[in-house]
Amino acid sequence: MQTLRAALVAVTAVIALLLSIRPGTAEENSRLGLTISIDGAIGPASAAYVKGALAKAAERRAGIVVLRLNTPGGLNTSMREIIADVLASPVPVIGYVAPSGAHAASAGTYILYATHIAAMAPGTNIGAATPVQIGGLPGLPTGDKDGKDKKDGDSQQPKDAMTAKATNDAVAFIRSLAELRGRNADWAEKAVREAATLSANAALQAGVIELVARDPADLMNQVDGRTVEVAGGKTQKLATKDATLEAIEPDWISRLLAVITDPNVAFILLMIGIYGLIFEFMTPGAIGPGVVGTICLLLGLYALNMLPTNYAGFALMLVGIALLAVEAFNPTVVIGAGGLVAFVLGALMLFRGEVPGYTLSWWVIGITTALFAVFLLAVLGALRRAANGPVQVGAQAMQGLPAEVLDWSGTTGHVFTNGERWQARGSETFSSGETVEVATIIDLTLVVRRAPAATGEGGKA
């Protein structure tokens, strides 16, 4: 008994020891590098992806995270979320503009400045970080009235107060990041105020980045032995010479978010949702259009909440839809034309500013407007004509139909009409084979009467 008890104690101790040993020691995990890749415009999906990946890196106690960038820019809110996550990361983040031909423009420049070590591949560029003005009409020139280029002194003076506030805020933000990482703050300000850009080698010489690396292997060799300061003021020496890089792919939520936050997809979802609800209201009981329309409309509204949306544009679209619906039931041409104009203007105004990657396609607007006009004017017009036309089903449709008497006893019997055998009753007595007329229906029983006698051409007056 004592031997068995001792054996159980020993086994328990061994199991506890094994459970206390986590898979991979700190030294082994320092050789693990995780790669995050941002390709395309920066938006809510990118921010969610980076946040989840950095959390996973901290959980696995990875040695480094390589944030590979190839982006034209994106939303300011998403950019700041990514930067906040990078600054708070306990794992060093290496910003790497790659592959050759890639760029880190606009929001990508800010993110690269926030990383612990900034690197670029040959043939890449960085810069053009001027904040995009929210609102206004796209495509307006930035020069003076005569079309002349600005003077050097004028480039520091934005024209209006809102632009000055946005520019000064962006300058202060990027300078703070440059000072935090010990990089060229003057060029950072120039990238914001003058949309300056640099190639990889020029960025290295200007002190904007720390190194130029041909590929991830070269990057790992060059950063090996460097010391960085992570969140909390802790310094960490990188040991990446033989590090193993493992890519972190976006989860399904980030992929779904990336799809529905595309302005064109969000716009189409809104239209499908509106179509579905209109069809459901016009044909109650169809169920399918209402369910699909509700889901698409909710997804579209969720996307609008995540995107830089101008709700005045959305309101104009609704006004246009309402006017087209009125036109379908009360044709006047003027109301329909006004509805189309309101709808197109609302679609153009729906998303504010010219944020890279977050503009609505003219093709999508044109095709959607045409389909919507055809749908409302044709389909709803057909429904209106059907509603005003003769009744095809129900008691009213049966009134006046001829019926053949099959059998009759007293005041009740059976008749055949409209391809069906019906129970019938009447105030008169009829004989089999006689043709009668349906007066009405009461509780699934036809009330019949004697059919009017045909009057010949030569009848009496």
Higher-pLDDT residue of 311, 204: 204
The CATH number given to 23-135+167-251 is 3.90.226.10
Superfamily per CATH, domain 395-450 = Nucleic acid-binding proteins (2.40.50.140)
Average pLDDT over residues 199-224: 94
State how far the alpha carbon of 172 is from the alpha carbons of 110, 137, 214, 263, 411, in Å. Answer: 11, 27, 32, 30, 97
Least confident of 106-110, 232-236, 292-296, 453-457: 453-457
Residue 186 has pLDDT above 80, yes or no: yes
pLDDT beyond 50 at 23: no
- Mean pLDDT over 343-353 rounds to 80
Mean pLDDT, rounded, for 19-29: 46
Give the model's pLDDT for residue 378. Answer: 72
Domain ranges of the chain: 23-135+167-251, 261-388, 395-450
Q: What is the reported pLDDT for 376?
A: 67
Pairwise pLDDT comparison (353 vs 59), residue with the higher score? 59
Place 314 in a pLDDT band, splitting at 50, 70 and 90: confident
State the pLDDT at residue 34.
92
pLDDT digits (tens, 9 = 90+) for 327-339: 766 767 677 778 8
Mean model confidence pLDDT for the chain: 80
- Do residues 44 and 13 make contact, with C-beta atoms less than 8 angstroms apart? no
Beta bridge partners of 64: 33
Q: Is 90 exceeded by the pLDDT of residue 85?
A: yes
Q: Provide the pLDDT for residue 182.
A: 93
More confident residue, 239 or 163: 239
Residue pLDDT, tens place only, 102-159: 999 999 999 999 999 999 999 999 998 887 644 333 333 444 434 444 444 444 444 5
Please give the pLDDT value at position 156.
Answer: 45
Residue scoring higher pLDDT (3 or 399): 399
pLDDT number for residue 154 = 47
Question: Between 101 and 458, where is the model more confident?
Answer: 101
Cα gap 167→175, rounded to integer Å: 12
Predicted pLDDT at 11: 53
Task: Taking residues 276-288, report their average pLDDT.
Answer: 77
Residue 385 has pLDDT above 80, yes or no: no
Tokens read off for 279: 């069809």
pLDDT higher than threshold 80 for residue 195: yes
Same fold, 23-135+167-251 and 395-450: no
pLDDT band at 460 (very low <50, low <70, confident <90, very high): very low
For residue 87, is pLDDT > 70? yes
Q: pLDDT tens digits for 268-279? A: 898 888 878 877
The confidence band for 379, taking pLDDT boundaries of 50, 70 and 90, is low
Tokens found for residue 208: 């904007």
Note the pLDDT of residue 28: 44
- Residue-wise pLDDT for 35-75, tens only, equals 999 998 898 889 999 999 999 999 988 989 999 999 998 88
Q: How far is CA 181 from CA 56, 174, 176, in A?
A: 24, 11, 9
Please give the pLDDT value at position 306. 80
* CA atoms within 13 A of residue 90's CA, in its CB half-sphere: 10
**Contact between 343 and 369 (Cβ < 8 Å):** yes
pTM of the model: 0.67
pLDDT: which is higher, 378 or 370: 370
pLDDT score, position 114: 95
User: According to the model, what pLDDT value does residue 424 have?
Assistant: 87
The pLDDT-based confidence of 454 (bands split at 50, 70, 90) is very low
Please tell me the distance from the alpha carbon of residue 74 to that of residue 98, in angstroms, as a whole number. Answer: 18
